[in-house]
Structure 1
Amino acid sequence: MTEPSADDRRTADGDARRPADSGRDAGVANRIEHGEGPSSADGLEYDVVSVPVLVIGAGAAGARVAIELAESGVEPLVIGKRDHGDAHTTWAAGGINAALGSLDDEDDWTIHAADTLNEGHHLNDPTAVELTAREMPDRIRELVDWGMPFDRTQDGAINQRYFGAQSYRRTCFVGDRTGEAMLEALIDRAQELEVPYRENVMITRLLSDGQRVSGAVGFDMESGRGLVFRSNHVVLAAGGFSAIFERHSSRDDENNGDAQALALEAGARLLDLEFVQFHPTGMVGERYGEEWDGRLVTEAVRGEGGRLYNTEGERFMERYSPDQMELDARDVVARAIARELEEGRGSENGGVFLDISHRDDDYVRDRLPRMVERFESLGVDITEEPIEVAPTAHYTMGGVDVDFETGETGVEGLYAVGETVAGVHGANRLGGNSLAETVAIGKLVGEHVASEVTAEDESPTVTDETRALAQREFASLETLAAADGHVEPTELLADLRALMWRHAGILRDEKGLREALAKLEAVRERTTDLRVEGGPTSPSFEFAVDLSFSLIVAETALRAALERTESRGAHYRSDYPEMNEDWRVNLVVSIDGGERSIDRRGVGEPSPAVREALEEGYELDYHHLE
């Protein structure tokens, strides 16, 4: 992607955004650069940038949509919150799924789809699952053509490893830096196509009347100037909301629920927000330092033979999953670790131990180079000693409700893709499917959006209504920037994350969820006393903006979790510990007349070919790996 030059952006170290129910009061300065020339009203100045398609989010999903648009002759503008190439995709280290059959020639796309449905406890959108599984072999070959250096077998085939709950070795990889290598390949391809890109831009509102979208409002995070993006086609690809939990694998300034809050306020529906994946193996901060707390230890460690032990030296997964052991579904392994900790068999730092030292040293260094390097820098040699780990919030299965063949949200001109959306993963995500979804569905969404763009969309006009919406948002942002109360945004975000972790984490019940809602309301009330320091280019302001997104999404997730009175996948209710077939429905959240409502919707059925694969009952037997 082509981009303007920019200095390296400062690293934020706080947490929050603007008051939630106060007209979205958030501050951003009011000057802007580039575009059709500054516009102003009542002293507010801003730039207007008109583009046929605006892609919000510069990770793998946004990049793949943009590539497809460019190849179809449509020039999008991609905007990202971070420096170019710095996206959450790079944290997906272990691999990407495709039924290539490099090592297990019995595998095919229908078994991949069946594994995905089983892992999602059959709340997945079957169309989304089958599109992803069918597309992936071609998408892998495409990535190879674009320069992605997959690890190879001795005979030159793309190598594949086991990931949890997969019937066959299906996960393609580049050591343990797969996401980083994939994003590099996608960016290189986008740059070949001269896709325009603008970095360090934060979107704070979509311009929408609830029926159709006409662009977006935001600000330049380096200059503080306001930006109006005028576009008849907007693609949301801005990630999930796992950072609303105290322990999470993201950085604090990303995955705060931006995309889901923007979509809901624009008139779109949200789906399945009660389903948040807690990855079994996050780093334990007390041992490695607070900056590492919750950071992901890739599933590739277990995929390459890593074993879990408690403080009594027991390989405890024998107790919970004797057949699939450490490679059972992520929700199963995470709950097993939580149980070990609860029953006093965890470390003083609140962890258990992941050990791969029984494998050959050279093998470990070859397959897991980034893990070896990271832990060596912290004084731990993983070829000789175990890693201390505990569950961490990692991925959100819930998100925007879309039609997966088009990416349409129900709001005309608004599309969504990637972790922003719900549907592919159901109640729990199969490891290796997050990267797969971004490129498989991203291509399809790009194709559809390109087919919708007309000559009139090349230079969309700025209407008086659009200007009025933008000016109201800028006034709200100014108010936030000038907030001079007594409470730091980081303090409120920390409280929000703590209540979500305690009451809506791996184990939930009605009492805790209701207590969480009460505490959340108290956090919201304290936003009236918010203090933002340093102006609109400061970490304080950015986190104040994040805070209002997080408040919206946290409340929605809590209410959905309270509504679903069963346990299924990543949603475990200790007061309703069994799965209930009557609850094989999706929970759809919408706002009507300012009121949030939750409705139930039945789940579709898979195709005959995938039903046949499900009936065959394919399943990993871990022990043949040892």
Structure 2
Amino acid sequence: MTHTNEQQSSPFQDENSVGRIHHARSTEDDTRASPAVDHEHVSVPVLIIGAGAAGARTAIELAKHDVEPLVIGKRAHGDAHTTLAAGGINAALGNRDPEDDWQIHAADTLKEGHFINDPAGVETVTNAMPDRIRELEEWGMSFNRTEDGKIEQRYFGAQSFRRTCFVGDQTGKAILETLVSKAQELEIPYRENVMITKLLSDGERVYGAIGYDTDDGHFLRFEAHAVVLAAGGYSGIYNRHSSRIDENNGDGAALAYDAGARLMDIEFVQFHPTGMMGDRYGEDWDGRLVTEAVRGEGGRLFNARGERFMERYSPDQMELDARDVVARAIAQEIREGRGTENGGVYLDISHKDQEFLQERLPRMYERFAELGVDMAEESVEVAPTAHYSMGGVEVDFETGATAVENLYAVGETIAGIHGANRLGGNSLAETLVLGKVVGDHVADESYIGAPELPESQQRAADEHFRTLKALSGQGSEDPQAVLQALGDLLEETAGIIRTEESTNKGLKSLEALRDRADDLMVGERTGRSFEYAIDLEFSLTVAELLLKGARERTESRGAHFRSDYPEESEAWRKNLTYRETEEGMTFDTTTPRDPSEAVRKALDADYELDYHQLE
């Protein structure tokens, strides 16, 4: 018996235009395949997996070229992790500091990434960002403004000049709303509450993807000429993280790895210095981000003794030094007994008045007010939290292409732009610029006709559906509990500080978790336990890559700190790549290219933020 469920009505477009996407139901009369497992079949020119800023901007560019993509979202429409990117987006507009330019932005990005970024990718992003900001402005985004009406810009950590554009402290939300509005105008098809569990690939070429509808549990097979992964990162595999619950669990990287793509720099995870900490906030808020904008607007860090401790670690840049520097400083204060009873420090901006905070940091002020804390009167308790994954899928920055034909990736799913540590304000910038790059290229490929799925891939899809169908069962392990144990393992063995001993311990413990994962108690496909079981497989794959990469990289660089190898090594100024082969997980290294002469000049000029300009 075949499903008769029609495609979900699209929030991006009018319901009447859904019919432009070709659909076919698998039946015994289907001449291309005779699957034993019932599923819905959807055929589209381009499939975009991920509905945040990166996926939306890619879809917009395709639509502008008269190519109709289908955007797949794991959650409801507009409910993407982009909304948590609060503090701002970088562009060298020079509205506050006229001497700023894109070459200096590129230099700051390379320095923050400890020179293992891809210079061509960095220059593509920084050069294009002023145009992308003006584009958002044209599409109706309401940026904060200076007194003379220009887009306002503020300091973010490790930036030489004020170049972070913002909408209060809700910049990501404003960007996503602007992009969704543009997508609706272009009538871009969108499908929500769909979880992709596997890419259809023979290791050389991708043909589509398969998964299931989380609302009613029926299986889905998508065939496409091209697939774009825009599925986020993997910082959520740690228990204390700034991501939304059940997101950034590594599905994008794991899907690409399984399909035959190369991954890169998985060992680099950014720990944001200021995640919420303390009993008064409750477990639901533990690790949630206190935006860097608080420090960018003058917030100061104090230990439990009332000492402004960043004076010891970074007297010039203070609280606005690089995120890895500030996070390790906080960790050291806590380790040496100068932290709070809850294991944190204090972030204080009470020297600013309430009106200022409500204008510049409205969401932060409101959040803490609801929790009984007036930021204009008292400090908030914070500690480092896993925030962003610099590693991901290796791509060609001229096209967004991976090593697998017709498979592209964009956003936090990819590696290369941020190197060993991301410059605050650059994540949203990357999504917009590279979303346009990928959309331009895929549109130029001129895919014609309906995509065809080889019989081998039809069989692979059916085999995977059988595996998913058999997943529901009565084992003894709760998938959520195993995920929790994985998060604890990573916090202990591959957190802010790592050693060879800790990573070996982590890998040994990972084997035991895999044994537990083979005996899961999983409910129906419409339930959370089923989703957790899928997440667990993705997260275990990425955790193994992370631990092995952290053990392999015998130096300290950016967010990767090895206390047994505390110095940065010139011999390790290279990228570590990962690929699945017949021999299993294999490592290789590549050496980053040199930046352009213009960016080299900006690096030689050695621009640097002076924190005391804020005082």
Q: TM-score by structure 1 length?
A: 0.94
Give the C-alpha shift of residue 460 in structure 1: 1.4
Give the C-alpha shift of residue 39 in structure 1: 3.7
Aligned partner letter, 2:340: S
Of the structure 1 ranges 380-389 and 282-291, higher mean CA displacement relative to structure 2 is found in 282-291
Q: Which structure has more RCO (C-alpha within 8 Å, separation ≥ 6)?
A: 1
* d(CA) in 2 for partners of 1:39, 1:438: 40
Matched, 1:78 2:78: no
Aligned partner letter, 2:267: E
Report what 1:474 is aligned to.
465
Q: 1:70 to 1:594 in 2, by over 3 A?
A: farther
Quick check: 2:209–2:221 contact (8 Å CA) kept in 1?
Answer: yes
Aligned partner letter, 2:481: E
Give the C-alpha shift of residue 6 in structure 1: 9.3
Tell me the SS of whatever aligns to 2:503: helix
Matched, 1:37 2:25: yes
After superposition, residues 163-562 of structure 1 pair within 5 angstroms as: 163-456=156-449, 459-481=450-472, 483-533=473-523, 535-562=524-551
Report what 1:95 is aligned to.
88
* d(CA) in 1 for partners of 2:253, 2:241: 18
After superposition, residues 43-82 of structure 1 pair within 5 angstroms as: 43-82=36-75
Give the C-alpha shift of residue 253 in structure 1: 1.0
Q: 1:231 to 1:34 in 2, by over 3 A?
A: closer
Q: Which consecutive unaligned segments of at least 5 residues does structure 2 have?
A: 1-6, 12-20, 29-33
Aligned partner letter, 2:457: T
Report what 1:574 is aligned to.
563
Quick check: 2:35–2:459 contact (8 Å CA) kept in 1?
Answer: no
Matched, 1:587 2:576: yes
Give the C-alpha shift of residue 364 in structure 1: 1.0
* d(CA) in 2 for partners of 1:265, 1:463: 18
Give the C-alpha shift of residue 528 in structure 1: 1.9
Quick check: 1:34–1:47 contact (8 Å CA) kept in 2?
Answer: no
Give the C-alpha shift of residue 201 in structure 1: 0.4
Quick check: 2:522–2:533 contact (8 Å CA) kept in 1?
Answer: yes
* d(CA) in 2 for partners of 1:591, 1:607: 33
Tell me the SS of whatever aligns to 1:475: helix
Tell me the SS of whatever aligns to 2:211: strand
Quick check: 2:106–2:122 contact (8 Å CA) kept in 1?
Answer: yes
Quick check: 1:39–1:46 contact (8 Å CA) kept in 2?
Answer: no
* d(CA) in 1 for partners of 2:162, 2:27: 56
Report what 1:609 is aligned to.
598
Deviations 1:449-488 (A, max 9, x none): 11113223xx21343222211101100101112x211110
Report what 2:15 is aligned to.
none
Give the C-alpha shift of residue 361 in structure 1: 1.8
Report what 1:565 is aligned to.
554
Deviations 1:295-351 (A, max 9, x none): 000000000000000000000000100000000000000000000000011111111
* d(CA) in 1 for partners of 2:83, 2:166: 13
Q: 1:507 to 1:455 in 2, by over 3 A?
A: same
Aligned partner letter, 1:159: E
Give the C-alpha shift of residue 251 in structure 1: 2.2
Quick check: 2:499–2:563 contact (8 Å CA) kept in 1?
Answer: yes
Name segments (4+ residues, structure 1) moved above 3 Å.
3-7, 38-43
Give the C-alpha shift of residue 428 in structure 1: 0.1
Tell me the SS of whatever aligns to 1:337: helix
* d(CA) in 2 for partners of 1:606, 1:311: 43
Deviations 1:366-405 (A, max 9, x none): 0000001111111111111101000000000000000011
* d(CA) in 1 for partners of 2:366, 2:408: 39
Deviations 1:115-147 (A, max 9, x none): 000000000000010000000000000000111
Aligned partner letter, 1:475: R
Tell me the SS of whatever aligns to 1:465: helix
Aligned partner letter, 2:551: L
Give the C-alpha shift of residue 442 in structure 1: 0.8
Tell me the SS of whatever aligns to 1:501: helix
Tell me the SS of whatever aligns to 2:358: helix
Tell me the SS of whatever aligns to 1:591: strand
Deviations 1:344-367 (A, max 9, x none): 111111110000000122111100
Tell me the SS of whatever aligns to 1:231: strand
Cα root mean square deviation, aligned: 1.3
Quick check: 1:39–1:47 contact (8 Å CA) kept in 2?
Answer: no
Q: 1:271 to 1:189 in 2, by over 3 A?
A: same
Aligned partner letter, 2:47: L
Deviations 1:143-181 (A, max 9, x none): 001111000001000000000000000000000000000
After superposition, residues 21-36 of structure 1 pair within 5 angstroms as: 35-36=23-24
Quick check: 1:285–1:291 contact (8 Å CA) kept in 2?
Answer: no
Count of equivalent residues: 595
Deviations 1:22-61 (A, max 9, x none): xxxxxxxxxxx99212346564111110000000000000
Quick check: 1:176–1:367 contact (8 Å CA) kept in 2?
Answer: yes
Quick check: 1:243–1:256 contact (8 Å CA) kept in 2?
Answer: yes
* d(CA) in 2 for partners of 1:362, 1:490: 43
* d(CA) in 2 for partners of 1:624, 1:256: 39
Q: 1:5 to 1:455 in 2, by over 3 A?
A: closer
Q: Which consecutive unaligned segments of at least 5 residues does structure 1 have?
A: 8-32
Tell me the SS of whatever aligns to 1:614: helix
* d(CA) in 2 for partners of 1:538, 1:172: 40
Give the C-alpha shift of residue 285 in structure 1: 4.7
Report what 2:588 is aligned to.
599
Deviations 1:228-262 (A, max 9, x none): 00012000000000011110011231110000000
* d(CA) in 1 for partners of 2:313, 2:39: 58
Quick check: 1:52–1:453 contact (8 Å CA) kept in 2?
Answer: no
Tell me the SS of whatever aligns to 1:232: strand
After superposition, residues 108-123 of structure 1 pair within 5 angstroms as: 108-123=101-116
Aligned partner letter, 1:201: V
Tell me the SS of whatever aligns to 2:225: coil
Report what 1:14 is aligned to.
none
* d(CA) in 1 for partners of 2:416, 2:518: 36
Aligned partner letter, 1:520: L
Report what 1:11 is aligned to.
none
Deviations 1:504-549 (A, max 9, x none): 000000101000000011000111211012x001000000100000
Give the C-alpha shift of residue 286 in structure 1: 2.5
Tell me the SS of whatever aligns to 1:104: coil
* d(CA) in 1 for partners of 2:283, 2:400: 38
Q: 1:463 to 1:616 in 2, by over 3 A?
A: same
